[in-house]
Chain A
């Protein structure tokens, strides 16, 4: 499986994501600079975490309006898988590829700690490395991960199996409605999530609970 990582100025978990994709798949992803004319022909496009454009205005807002996102939107419409992590999730939301909004954490503070995630829908290309109901460890590191959507949208997300992950066991770090940590688009080829599975994939990270996302996605046995 071929993948590409999109880099906007101010992102800072691009290197973490590139390392994770490389370590799990054995192949380095293509790196796409935001000013590049197009995204190469890949099966998976990843928008990593960080502070694109300083997260000034609203998190992800400025990056979401850059021309490269039109290309991402086109690919997504054609069924290419798109993964947005943390700032990547915020960008996908601002770009309209995913519904709702990510508000300032309830504590108003940046939070970096380990949480537990429950796999709500394991029946997708992104989550097939896990089993439904499985609870796994995953770190978070964000200031604006408090998922908000109106009740109709929440109902639709829940009803259509579009909630991917939920914060489990009282570990919701940000006040997200329905403890939502990650959601899919309607076709389930776009996933956005706040936690950082790429930071928990090997012994040096103190565990590899995040690895199954990548092994599942990249078509390898977990």
Chain B
């Protein structure tokens, strides 16, 4: 297959490139002539949703991105946040939704590869990874196959690369039947004075290509990632990229070695629309032109056209601008690691992006405008309709013990062990909390006491009911999960997964979710430092649940003062911190309603950000003071599920007394926000606990003593005692049982 460069540009061809007629007109105006075929490809790559953020840019700008610890916010390969001692944590989250639906193993694997590259491109060695996964209904015919492939793909790549997976999410909902979500997060450590950026500096310097050879992988991939799925999905298949973690691991080591030599001026990984996006970005950021000679590009297939080379998404490749006097040294590093190293271009002073091939100039475009002049839309949106509150007294009844057992053994809250045991969770030897708790925690290698916590969260059903509250809740839950380990939440990354933004109701979801996220980040001092937007997640006109995933990072000054979720000992006081006096009342959008009664009604729970902050700060202080022996925030399934998870984590039971004047269903299964369970090793009658309560009261936080740990049962008031072993069997059973009939 060869595609000539002098092909005629027809309206159909323009449409095939995902460009609207007015967008094409803009191209004509900008360059004053018809583009060559290669140029059309370059524009389509630069101006599609994925690279240009044309639908979301206006709203993303409203997010808080600054803070005393923020070294680099959005706009680079990853965000950079100061963690003290001249070190920084570098992190980002990115989606690989469409590729993972088409080929789950390779799609998810290359998603991991991409996010790891974003992190080590900046000079950071990856130290932690997470993955947030959303699949269709468990009984949908494709779900098992997708779960199995995606999990194996993430493991296959991450395990071989050698980064511990410390957390993530897995959810099932029929709204993802035709469009799963695979969001991958990675974080790396770097010295603050050795961070590398993509901005090229200096004229006449070599532009160097590193890593794997270029093939036809994913040609058109970036365009595909932004296109709505239709029934012609089969035809889009040949663009699948195959990951090579062995090459990525060598690329990591070679890049870090090369950076240490001082040879690197600018570096950019080749992700979506590989050579095009990376070269344009390096040049445009540095106010420089770039000239590429495609005859120098290492290729692994014959007769590749310039169009294909410019749009190839072959993995495990990097572009750098190097100090010319260090080129030989740089080449030696790459030869040691047996990776391709080729000088493929030069920086110029004319702000043009020029591409040469076999003696011809196949592209000559204004480099700044390629990015800066990309279309930006203020798409029309409509305000989401928020569901009415549940009628007074509308509390569907079920035996509390039966309900808890059903939820613990249901797809929403069952243990994800089946998933995370396929991931290497302890490589590097720094994992202090592996998946299964509130947040993953690693120690900072080389530091005696410092730790970092990671969590990924969003509750899509809340976002669907109320994108604004749902956006707030996603941030708050992430912040809460970090806090529950004793960490100080530092900053976050977001991965905004939505449907087709050309539909005003979807755009309305995006606008309101961003508003909620922004307000929560501001109130919780939790700036957004990087992120990714994935739109057009729909199949045949049905959008996914709005899913703005938040990945957060927290800092523990001393991991010896860190909380875990398992009850630590018998006879300890259990406090419910941050709850209303009724403990809980909010049943709207709860999993109690959804999973036990098939109801998806009612408003999403409200997040009181000021109260959230006060409560979290208080919880963290208690953990750091050493009085807390275990801590767990409440989320899906409310108080009952929270208690059960703490019991199951250690095998220790508990007895909790009912509030007599409150419906047990509400107090045990309400999903009111901003609540933590904590056990303390304090005498219930003693002064220390009294002092704790006085302090809470002064802060306006209610922290009642609701029960005591001990025994082998979980006793929720008047409900039948549930053996912890039975809860554990239910909790651990769902996933392996479900996947056991994988082939069926």
Contacts and interface: CB of A to CB of B under 8 A. Distances in A.
Interface in A98-145: 109-113, 139, 141, 143
B157 to A, nearest CB: 11
A36 to B, nearest CB: 12
Contacts, number: 79
Contact of B429 (A16, A35, A110, A143): A16
Interface in B217-268: 244-247, 249-250
A16 B428 contact: yes
B395 interface: no
**Most chain B beta-carbon neighbours within 10 Å: one of A13, A35, A53:** A13
Specify the main secondary structure of chain A where it touches its partner: mixed
B160 A141 contact: no
A10 B160 contact: yes
A16 B427 contact: yes
Contacts of B159: 51, 110, 112, 141, 143
Contact of A56 (B246, B429, B443): B246
Interface in B396-429: 420-429
Name, among B246, B249, B423, B429, the residue most crowded by chain A CB atoms within 10 Å (CB to CB): B429
A110 B249 contact: no
A138 to B, nearest CB: 11
Interface residues of A, number: 28
B152 interface: yes
Nearest to A198: B429
Contacts of A60: none
Interface in B416-453: 420-430, 432, 443
A13 to B, nearest CB: 6
B705 interface: no
Nearest to B337: A9
Given A198-B429, A204-B432, A205-B429, A109 B422 contact: yes
A10 to B, nearest CB: 5
A110 B155 contact: yes
Nearest to A201: B429
Contact of B422 (A9, A16, A19, A110): A110
A204 B556 CA distance: 14
Interface in A2-31: 9-10, 12-13, 15-16, 19-20
Contacts of A109: 152, 155, 421-422
Interface string B132-172: 00000000000000000000100110011110000000000
B349 interface: no
B246 A112 contact: no
A55 interface: yes
Contacts of B426: 112, 139, 141, 196, 199, 205
B249 A53 contact: no
B432 A54 contact: no
Nearest to A10: B246
Given A50-B162, A112-B426, A10 B152 contact: no
Contact of B160 (A19, A54, A112, A204): A54
Interface string B49-75: 000000000000000000000000000
Given A204-B443, A204-B559, A112 B162 contact: no
A199 to B, nearest CB: 5
A51 B429 contact: no
A205 B420 CA distance: 18
Interface in B463-508: none
Contacts of A51: 159-160, 245-246, 249
Contacts of B161: 12
29 contacts: A12-B161, A12-B427, A13-B162, A15-B428, A16-B427, A20-B429, A51-B159, A51-B160, A51-B245, A51-B246, A51-B249, A56-B246, A109-B152, A109-B421, A109-B422, A110-B152, A110-B155, A110-B424, A112-B421, A112-B423, A112-B424, A112-B425, A141-B159, A196-B426, A198-B429, A199-B427, A199-B429, A204-B429, A204-B430
Interface of B: 152, 155-156, 159-162, 244-247, 249-250, 336-338, 420-430, 432, 443, 559
Interface of A: 9-10, 12-13, 15-16, 19-20, 35, 50-51, 53-56, 109-113, 139, 141, 143, 196, 198-199, 204-205
